Amino acid sequence: MAVSRSVLLPVVRCYNCSCIALRETAEMIKEKKTETELVALLMARVRDRPECEHVIRVAIIRPKTQNWDAAWTVEGNEIPCQRAFAVARELQAEFDLA
pTM as predicted: 0.70
Q: Work out the average pLDDT over 39-53.
A: 94
Classify burial at 16, counting beta carbons within 10 Å of its beta carbon; exposed 0-12, middle 13-18, buried 19 or more.
Answer: exposed
Q: Work out the average pLDDT over 5-22.
A: 45
- 69 pLDDT more than 80: yes
Q: What percent of the chain has pLDDT over 70?
A: 71
pLDDT-based confidence at 65, cuts 50/70/90? confident
- 12 pLDDT more than 60: no
pLDDT-based confidence at 22, cuts 50/70/90? very low
